[in-house]
Structures are given as C-alpha cells and as structure tokens.
Amino acid sequence: MTPNLEGLLVRLHKGCEQHQIAPRDSMRRLISLWPGYGKGSLRTSQVRQRFTVDDFHRAAKFDKDLLKLLRILGLAQT
C-alpha cells in the first residue's frame, strides 16, 4: 500500500486498480470519484458503505503492500 490513503481509495474504485497516482494528484482524483469524501473525516462506516472486500481484493492484485495487509488480517484470497 503506497503510503497515500487517497491514492489507495482511488484504486479501490472499479476500473482504477492499476492507477498509480502522485500524492499531489490523488485528492483531486478521489473527489472526482467520490464527491462526498473529506480528508480527515473518513469513518469506518463510510468505507464499508462505499467498498466491498472484493474491491480490496481487486486492488491488491496491483498493490503488494495492500495484499500483505490483507494476508495479515486473514482477508487475502487463496
């Protein structure tokens, strides 16, 4: 997981899994995909409503750090 939360959130959107976004561009791109997103105000419930485990699995195919995190949490696909 590249240490850029907004970049990760962009990649969780279907069709954006392979997008490697510079940190300076990630917020603008994320807001275009998720107009209600607000930096510093993200709650777990918002993530659950917006994304599924399948979204994380799909993005993890292109993000080795995210895949590692999913494995640690016992959520990786076998």
The 10s digit of each residue's pLDDT in 24-44 is: 999 999 999 999 898 888 899
Residue 7 has pLDDT above 90, yes or no: yes
What values do phi and psi take at 18, rounded to 5? -95, 0
Give 11: exposed, middle or buried? Use CB within 10 Å, 0-12, 13-18, 19+.
buried
Which structure tokens are listed for 74? 């016992």
pTM of the model: 0.87
Interior/surface letters 13-52, b for 16+ CB within 10 angstroms, e for the rest: beebbeeebeeeebbebbeeebeebeeeeeeeeeeeebbe
- pLDDT score, position 48: 94
